[in-house]
Amino acid sequence: MGELSHVDESGAARMVDVSGKAVTARAAVATGTVRTTPDVVALLRRDGLPKGDALATARIAGIMAAKKTPELIPLCHPIALSGVKVEFELGESDVVITATVRTNDRTGVEMEALTAVAVSGLTLHDMIKAVDPRAVLDGVRVEHKHGGKSGEWDR
């Protein structure tokens, strides 16, 4: 059985020293799903009309949150992100969020991708909560990573 990577042998939290790791191109993809009602999805689709900002707001929130990851997750390293993409897929009564994050740095970017998904999802919740206060953010998880020592990883 492995060990928690962010606490030392005495149990104390620390930001692990990564100076010895190689600077390589890395990417991570994470997804999550906002479960809501067909009515809300219809409102979001209608948002596809000129100037409808609901999905754009959630997308921007996700991209900006990816940059804030080291401020939010205490033991994450500050990382020079080289690209962030947030995509939505509208289902019958849900919205699937996919975030792709790229870097050239010493650690992976799965936390950045997860943070983009979670904050996009919460922003959607905020936009729709007057119509559906029961919305749920489900299944926030890493789908794919590559780069670094561990190479390619798929869920």
What residues are labeled active site?
126
Tell me whether residue 73 or residue 96 sits nearer to a second copy (CB atom): 73
Q: Is 75 annotated among the ligand-binding residues? A: yes
Site string for a second copy, 31-50 (x = CB under 8 A): -x------x--xxx--xxxx
DSSP assignment of 49-117 equals STT--HHHHHHHHHHHHHHHHHHHSTTPPP--EEEEEEEEEE-SSEEEEEEEEEEEESS--HHHHHHHH
CA max distance for the chain: 57
Tell me whether residue 93 or residue 106 sits nearer to a second copy (CB atom): 106
Residue type present at position 99:
A
Per rule CB under 8 A, is residue 71 in the interface with a second copy? yes
Site string for a second copy, 97-116 (x = CB under 8 A): -----xxxxx---xx--xx-
Q: Is 15 annotated among the ligand-binding residues? A: no
Min CB(123)–a second copy separation in Å? 5
Q: Is 111 annotated among the ligand-binding residues? A: yes
DSSP assignment of 109-132 equals -HHHHHHHHHHHHHHHHHHHTTT-
Min CB(31)–a second copy separation in Å? 10
Exactly one of 92, 134, 149, 152 binds a second copy (CB under 8 A); that residue is: 134
For residue 63, CA distances in Å to 66, 67, 108 come to 5, 7, 17
Exactly one of 12, 97, 98, 152 binds a second copy (CB under 8 A); that residue is: 12
What is the C-alpha to C-alpha distance for residues 29 and 102, in angstroms, rounded to an integer? 9
Binding residue numbers: 75-77, 111-112
Q: Which residues are annotated as a binding site for substrate?
A: 75-77, 111-112
